[in-house]
């Protein structure tokens, strides 16, 4: 069978990503994990940031749905608001910071995945505490 394995019953993912993103109150919520990509919702409270990080082996896409902030890539500040998309290439130092007075809501795609499927961190403190236990384990959603 050309283009795939015979008997592949994967269904993929479909939902209203804008609605889900705007209604998300969790710091991080993994929605779907594929073999090569992962979809995650994030919300930063006013003044909150993801924290500076580098993903040596993965590219990351962000799409912002509400609030105002900055994506800092290798110390260059890129302002973000509703409708803005940003790609952080693998190996780039980056951080996302909420610089406004309202929540900064976004969804992000990691390629390859970064977190265990269905991970939920209600707060940044929980995410930091669980950091060593939520690394992607090679098990996709389906």
The first and second tokens of residue 9, run together, are 């019953």
Q: What is the pTM of this model?
A: 0.90
The first and second tokens of residue 142, run together, are 């389906």
- What tens digit of pLDDT does each residue of 46-57 get? 999 999 999 999
pLDDT band of residue 133 (cuts 50, 70, 90) is confident
Mean pLDDT of 12-36: 97
Higher pLDDT, 1 or 65: 65
pLDDT for the residue numbered 4:
52
pLDDT for the residue numbered 1:
43
- What tens digit of pLDDT does each residue of 99-109 get? 999 999 999 99
Strand order through the sheet with 28-33: 85-88, 59-66, 104-111, 38-44, 28-33, 120-121
pLDDT band of residue 7 (cuts 50, 70, 90) is low
The first and second tokens of residue 5, run together, are 């394995």
**What are the E-state strand segments in 1-142?**
28-33, 38-44, 53-54, 59-66, 69-73, 76-80, 85-88, 93-98, 104-111, 120-121
């Amino acid at each position: 069978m050309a283009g795939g394995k015979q008997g592949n019953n994967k269904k993929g993912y479909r939902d209203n990503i804008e609605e889900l993103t705007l209604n998300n109150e969790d710091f991080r919520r993994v929605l779907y994990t594929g073999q090569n990509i992962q979809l995650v919702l994030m919300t930063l409270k006013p003044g909150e940031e993801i924290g500076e990080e580098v993903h040596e082996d993965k590219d990351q896409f962000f799409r912002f749905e509400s609030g105002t902030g900055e994506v800092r890539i290798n110390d260059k500040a890129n302002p973000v608001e509703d409708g803005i998309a940003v790609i952080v290439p693998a190996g780039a130092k980056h951080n996302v910071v909420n610089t406004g007075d309202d929540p900064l809501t976004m969804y992000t795609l990691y390629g390859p995945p970064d977190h265990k499927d269905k991970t939920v961190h209600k707060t940044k403190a929980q995410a930091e505490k669980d950091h060593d236990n939520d690394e992607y384990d090679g098990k996709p959603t389906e």
